[in-house]
Chains A and B, each alone.
Chain A
Amino acid sequence: MAITAPDPTVDPTALPQTKGPLRRAFDRFFENRAARAGLLIVIPILLAVSTYSLWWPFGPNAIDLRAMNKAPSAIHWLGSDGVGRDVMARLLQGGRISLLVAVCSVAISTVIGFLVGAVASFGGRLVDGTVMRLVDLAMTLPPVIFLLVLASIAGTGIAPTILVISLLSWPVLSRMVRARLLELRERDFVVAARGMGAGLPHLLFRHGLPNCIDILVVYATLQIANAILLEAGLSFLGLGIAPPEASWGNMLNLARSTVVLENYPWQWMFPGAALVLTVLAINFIGDGLRDAFDPRSDLN
């Protein structure tokens, strides 16, 4: 099918040639220095965490009895802990678990939060009223007790921890999504889409989702940090990732005693630094993505 040639009476050079929308979003992302720094930190971490078993000689639970509480050395780069396990190996394995739990639970809670908020805002008054009262109810539950009850029902391990964290954190997001979509629903271009016969899925995914992307990205990045902390808290109470399995959270918790804090700083400093660095870098990336997705940011 041939495309109709532009009207010859209109000068085609009137509009200068520019790049496509996706390309421009990428350009904007890479122009952002903080976002580039974030990528520069996160990509090596992800690579190391996912491939360490191929190039690091020690396993996370392998015990070296000649190296208990040893400081960093040429053999154990980041030292070893109280039972002679290699801190580097545990750090990388813990990163694997912590990030897996955080990313999965944030993905699940983002989907739940978006769908609940979207259905509430587009479903009409009755649906909105009912759903939002349920959200209010979920928000009034004291988080720590809710977490404990859920976790004691679900048990320990990776899948239950993901489930528990994701069930706790969606109500705030669904409120933000609802507020954004209630405003969006009355905008002319959404009315136009309805006038062309658009159903709920079209409105939600062609208009709702792109106009919530900033909320979702910011929420997801902040929530990853939060999820890592929640996971650590749960693990501390014996309900999250149970030892001997490593996670950044339970590595920090194992190093809580003043003896360890004072005498063996490598046992808590490295997991703590990994946590801070990762969270910070993910936040930078989140900010960069939000600006990149907003076509109006070119104007500023």
Chain B
Amino acid sequence: MADVPFLSVKNLTKHFAPTAFSRGPVVRALEDISFDVRRGEVVGLVGESGSGKTTIGRSVLRLIEPTSGQITYDGTDITRLGAAQLRRQRRKMQYIFQDPFASLSPRMTIGQILTEGLDIQAIGKRSERRAKAAKALTAVELPFDAYDRYAHEFSGGQRQRIGIARALTLEPEFIVADEPVSALDVSIQAQIINLLRDLQLRLGLTMLFISHDLAVVEYICDTVIVLYLGRIMEVAPAAELYARPQHPYTRALLSAIPSLDPLARQGRQVLKGDIPSPANPPSGCVFRTRCPFALEACAAAVPPLRATADGHLKACIRDDIA
């Protein structure tokens, strides 16, 4: 039983192709992504802008239709669900957005925002919905008199709490948190992260945590997936990944974390250039154009994701650099 994954993503690919009315290249946002998430686990997706983090998160909830691949959620392949089944499935999985100013409707009161999901799913009577919304507000430590207010009356941190409360009203078992703290002040970030951690433990939530902030990911995640240009570079348990990064890209990312130790700065490895265009990715290993350890062989074939000695999965042909 223990080895049946709760969420299993297999060969997920998403290409954004031009339509019959427009011209342009095919953008390869995701290529052949596979990973598993166990029940109750928090999996982090990290990578720089344009690496496909959000596309994975949205595909998993089928807010974006994948080009190909399979997403199995608790035994059901959600890429094949019909409209009615998908609607029922949506009760179990929710999304927390990055931008607390865009994720709440400016024309709805907090009460309307919080009961919207219950309304859509036709759960409970009016008074029951109100009670559930009140419970969600309490869970995110907001007073009940927020209920009749509009979103613009709240600060960023409070709005993010409301966004979290909205995700909780349907009592989901799985949450995709898409950079839930990157739009907030550092002091507020800590509050929200602690709140999420606390809720995750208390409610036994399974979570896909998307972030580019490696310090936050280390704190909250059990397993970390490192993405680059729509491909998985490395997968490892959080503690392992931070202690012994195997992939050159992971090492570059980790060395970019600001440190107070002046000695640590000397060993910093700074990547040159920008992430290549996903419309025209390099051949072979997509990271080779910026990799300090690249060989000629890196351009020949896409390196497969393979297990290393200490429980990592990495997509790099070199074993001699770890």
The 8 A CB mask of B97-112 against A (1 = contact, 0 = none) is: 1010011111111000
Q: How far is the CB of A290 from chain B (nearest CB, A)?
A: 13
**Interface size, chain B (Cβ < 8 Å):** 52
Using A6-B138, A10-B141 as known contacts, say yes or no to A296 and B103 having CB atoms under 8 A apart. Answer: no
Residue of B nearest to A17 (CB): B145
Q: How far is the CB of B56 from chain A (nearest CB, A)?
A: 15
Among B91-130, those with CB < 8 Å from A are: 91, 93-95, 97, 99, 102-109, 113, 116-117, 119-121, 125, 127-128, 130
> Is B95 a contact of A2 with CB atoms below 8 Å?
no
- Bound form: Cα–Cα A191–B83 in Å: 16
Residue of B nearest to A2 (CB): B131
- Bound form: Cα–Cα A199–B109 in Å: 21
> Is A12 a contact of B104 with CB atoms below 8 Å?
no
Cβ of A33 within 8 Å of any chain B Cβ, yes or no, is: no
> Is A196 a contact of B145 with CB atoms below 8 Å?
no
Q: How far is the CB of A206 from chain B (nearest CB, A)?
A: 7
Cβ of A15 within 8 Å of any chain B Cβ, yes or no, is: yes
Among A145-199, those with CB < 8 Å from B are: 187-189, 191-199
Which chain B positions have C-beta within 8 A of A14?
143
Using A20-B148, A210-B107 as known contacts, say yes or no to A196 and B63 having CB atoms under 8 A apart. Answer: no
> Is B143 a contact of A196 with CB atoms below 8 Å?
no
Cβ of A3 within 8 Å of any chain B Cβ, yes or no, is: yes
Q: How far is the CB of A23 from chain B (nearest CB, A)?
A: 10
Which chain A positions have C-beta within 8 A of B144?
3-6, 12
Cβ of B37 within 8 Å of any chain A Cβ, yes or no, is: no
Cβ of A211 within 8 Å of any chain B Cβ, yes or no, is: yes
Cβ of B149 within 8 Å of any chain A Cβ, yes or no, is: yes
Which chain B positions have C-beta within 8 A of A211?
105, 107
Q: How far is the CB of B39 from chain A (nearest CB, A)?
A: 21
> Is A299 a contact of B107 with CB atoms below 8 Å?
no
Which chain B positions have C-beta within 8 A of A191?
58, 63, 95, 97
- Bound form: Cα–Cα A17–B153 in Å: 12
Residue of B nearest to A202 (CB): B120
- Bound form: Cα–Cα A188–B120 in Å: 17
Residue of B nearest to A1 (CB): B127
Using A1-B128, A10-B141 as known contacts, say yes or no to A189 and B150 having CB atoms under 8 A apart. Answer: no
- Bound form: Cα–Cα A263–B88 in Å: 76
> Is A189 a contact of B104 with CB atoms below 8 Å?
yes
> Is B94 a contact of A195 with CB atoms below 8 Å?
yes
Using A188-B99, A188-B103, A197-B121 as known contacts, say yes or no to A12 and B143 having CB atoms under 8 A apart. Answer: yes
Which chain B positions have C-beta within 8 A of A196?
90, 94, 116-117, 120-121, 170
> Is A299 a contact of B152 with CB atoms below 8 Å?
yes
> Is A195 a contact of B95 with CB atoms below 8 Å?
yes
Cβ of A244 within 8 Å of any chain B Cβ, yes or no, is: no
Which chain A positions have C-beta within 8 A of B99?
188
- Bound form: Cα–Cα A20–B111 in Å: 12
Which chain A positions have C-beta within 8 A of B288?
none
> Is A12 a contact of B145 with CB atoms below 8 Å?
yes
Which chain B positions have C-beta within 8 A of A18?
149, 153
Cβ of B86 within 8 Å of any chain A Cβ, yes or no, is: yes
The 8 A CB mask of B184-224 against A (1 = contact, 0 = none) is: 00000000000000000000000000000000000000000
Which chain A positions have C-beta within 8 A of B107?
210-211, 293, 295
Cβ of B7 within 8 Å of any chain A Cβ, yes or no, is: no
Residue of B nearest to A206 (CB): B116
| CB-contact partner of A189 in B19, B58, B102, B135, under 8 A | B102
Among A247-300, those with CB < 8 Å from B are: 293, 295-296, 299
Cβ of B45 within 8 Å of any chain A Cβ, yes or no, is: no
Cβ of B87 within 8 Å of any chain A Cβ, yes or no, is: yes
Q: How far is the CB of A261 from chain B (nearest CB, A)?
A: 50
Cβ of B33 within 8 Å of any chain A Cβ, yes or no, is: no
> Is A195 a contact of B143 with CB atoms below 8 Å?
no
> Is A193 a contact of B120 with CB atoms below 8 Å?
yes
Residue of B nearest to A298 (CB): B152
Among A29-81, those with CB < 8 Å from B are: none
| CB-contact partner of B143 in A7, A189, A299, under 8 A | A7
* Chain B CB within 10 A, most for which of A10, A191, A197, A296: A197
Q: How far is the CB of B106 from chain A (nearest CB, A)?
A: 6
> Is B120 a contact of A198 with CB atoms below 8 Å?
yes
Among B38-71, those with CB < 8 Å from A are: 58, 61, 63
Cβ of B253 within 8 Å of any chain A Cβ, yes or no, is: no
23 of the cross-chain contacts (CB-CB < 8 Å) are A2-B131, A3-B130, A3-B144, A4-B131, A4-B138, A6-B137, A6-B144, A6-B145, A7-B143, A20-B148, A188-B97, A188-B103, A195-B90, A196-B116, A196-B120, A197-B86, A197-B88, A202-B119, A206-B108, A295-B106, A295-B150, A295-B152, A299-B152
Interface residues of B (CB under 8 A from A): 19, 21, 58, 61, 63, 83, 86-88, 90-91, 93-95, 97, 99, 102-109, 113, 116-117, 119-121, 125, 127-128, 130-131, 134-135, 137-138, 141-146, 148-150, 152-153, 166, 170
What would 5 more interface pairs be, CB under 8 Å, given A21-B150, A196-B90? A1-B125, A1-B128, A7-B141, A188-B102, A196-B94
Interface pairs A-B: 4 shortest CB-CB? A196-B117, A188-B103, A197-B90, A197-B87
